[in-house]
């Protein structure tokens, strides 16, 4: 590619080479050739006049693709599938007469897409399992670390860092179960013919319906699918694409929420993503430690979420047995959905593995807000010592208003506790006991343990390892 040409940043910057190559031309067109081989083998097995020499010739030329020749054929024919039929036929003169025998273009294009979707889901799922397990370890190690909770982005009752991580984990588990469900429901388009009626194959097998059904089964099995979709038009239903991209977009929604939370926490200097020794946060402000990985997760997630509508409109506009206005869109949206999901997960794993927690900052922020949060406990303790609940409530209200004015108007520290300690109505309260921070987080540490043991682990165990990943790092 020339430096004058646009390049796709998903390929050059963000996604793994593993996912990029999965959706690359070599994988795509060699899979077409394998599908032609599967078809020829099955047709020969069921009695069509296809020789061992023709099969052997196809087997010998699965991966040696002359892309220049294919491009020249396509310029002449204006048809990508026939261009590759001719390119393969040029290499396989003996097999040329039976290549694509009885098939329509969607035999190779749709079945290939389903194979690529299956392998891509395996890769995404494997990456997501690693993220979940790494984040679970983080949650466990910080199960008891107190921190301010937030509702409405305002300080609320304390929680723990581990409990907050479990909120992220719960959503990620919903995503992996959705992805696994879609993966388990995938089937082959199989051998269905021009409008899905299998008419051409029925003709080839002299109206033998059983052989046509067996052909469909044999080819689907050769593709690695247990079954084919029971009915199709010229294409498999584009509803399948919608469901797959919906699951990927669901993952993007979770990633966006998680990364946004980290951006908020980074702004408070409570939790940060990894920051490398020579990393630059700003070209102008040398002190900056911007959460660039979390920001990138949000940016990529926003794009992936937007692809939901593309798949939905494509499905909605498939007229009758099919229209071709799905083709250009799917060439872009399907690969980019998986490339984006892959890039998001690479970033998530990098972030999760390098999260830095600052306990002293967390403690300082807790103590800044604790006076207000502790007032109900202080009131109850004073009531237990013989005080009047309504009278104490009013005294706390008055002192709180005075402390709030001091903080907001005068810009001074919160002195509510000093005011309460100096008030004779609260003289018998053991403030040290009441203000012990661990008492404010409720069952958060135990909830972390129970969630990881009783909810997360059984669900992960129920998802079979359908894919594996090589070690991949974010590129920039």
> Within 13 Å, how many C-alpha atoms sit on residue 409's CB side?
6
The one catalytic residue in 51, 184, 267, 282 is: 282
Residue in the structure block whose two tokens are 């920051």: 275
Find, among 216, 131, 220, 121, the residue nearest to 169 by Cα: 131
The rounded distance, in Å, linking the Cα atoms of 101 and 48 is 10
- Give the bridge partners for 150, in sequence order: 155
Dihedral sign for Cα atoms in the order 242, 245, 249, 251: positive
Residues sharing a CB contact under 8 Å with residue 19, sequence separation 6 or more, in sequence order: 120, 123, 338, 339, 342
> Within 13 Å, how many C-alpha atoms sit on residue 45's CB side?
15
CB 217 within 8 A of CB 159: no
User: Phi and psi for 156 in degrees, rounded to 5?
Assistant: -135, -170
The rounded distance, in Å, linking the Cα atoms of 184 and 122 is 10
- Residue 84 is a catalytic residue: no
- Residue 393 is a catalytic residue: no
The rounded distance, in Å, linking the Cα atoms of 188 and 114 is 7
State how far Cα 326 lies from the chain centre: 24
Find, among 57, 261, 309, the residue nearest to 161 by Cα: 261
Q: H or E element: which one contains 148?
A: strand 146-151
Catalytic residues: 152, 282
């Amino acid at each position: 590619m020339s430096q004058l040409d646009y390049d796709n940043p998903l390929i050059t910057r963000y996604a793994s080479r593993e996912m990029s190559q999965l959706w690359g031309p070599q994988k795509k067109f060699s899979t077409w050739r394998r599908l032609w081989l599967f078809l020829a083998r099955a047709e020969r097995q069921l009695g069509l006049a296809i020789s061992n020499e023709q099969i052997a010739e196809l087997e010998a030329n699965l991966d040696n693709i002359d892309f220049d020749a294919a491009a020249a054929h396509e310029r002449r024919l204006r048809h990508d599938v026939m261009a590759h039929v001719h390119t393969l036929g040029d290499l396989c003169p003996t097999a040329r007469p039976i290549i694509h025998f009885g098939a329509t273009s969607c035999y190779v294009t749709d079945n290939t897409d389903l194979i690529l979707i299956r392998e891509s889901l395996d890769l995404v799922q494997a990456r997501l399992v690693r993220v979940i397990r790494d984040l679970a370890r983080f949650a466990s190690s910080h199960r008891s670390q107190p921190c301010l909770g937030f509702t409405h982005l305002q300080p609320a009752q304390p929680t723990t860092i581990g409990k907050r991580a479990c909120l992220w984990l719960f959503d990620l588990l919903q995503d992996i179960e959705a992805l696994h469900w879609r993966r388990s429901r995938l089937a082959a388009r199989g051998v269905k013919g021009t409008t899905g009626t299998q008419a051409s194959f029925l003709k080839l097998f002299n109206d033998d319906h059983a052989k046509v059904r067996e052909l469909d089964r044999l080819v689907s099995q050769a593709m690695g699918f247990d079954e084919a979709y029971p009915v199709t038009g010229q294409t498999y239903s584009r509803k399948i694409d919608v469901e797959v991209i919906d699951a990927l977009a669901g993952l993007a929604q979770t990633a966006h929420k998680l990364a946004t939370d980290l951006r908020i926490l980074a702004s408070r200097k409570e939790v940060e993503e990894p920051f490398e020794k020579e990393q630059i946060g700003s070209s102008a402000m040398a002190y900056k430690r911007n959460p660039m990985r979390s920001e990138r997760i949000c940016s990529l997630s926003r794009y992936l979420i937007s692809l939901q509508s593309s798949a939905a409109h494509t499905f909605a506009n498939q007229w009758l047995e099919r229209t071709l206005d799905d083709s250009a869109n799917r060439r872009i949206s399907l690969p980019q959905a998986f490339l984006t999901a892959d890039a998001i997960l690479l970033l998530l794993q990098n972030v999760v593995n390098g999260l830095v927690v600052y306990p002293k900052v967390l403690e300082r922020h807790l103590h800044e807000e604790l006076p207000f949060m502790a007032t109900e406990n202080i009131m109850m303790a004073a009531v237990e010592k013989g005080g009047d609940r309504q009278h104490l409530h009013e005294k706390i209200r008055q002192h709180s208003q005075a402390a709030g004015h001091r903080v907001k108007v005068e810009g001074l520290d919160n002195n509510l506790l000093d005011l309460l300690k100096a008030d004779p109505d609260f003289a018998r309260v053991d403030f040290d006991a009441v203000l012990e921070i661990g008492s404010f987080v409720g069952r958060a540490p135990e909830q972390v343990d129970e969630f990881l043991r009783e909810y997360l682990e059984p669900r992960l165990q129920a998802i079979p390892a359908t894919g594996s990943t090589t070690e991949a790092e974010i590129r920039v």
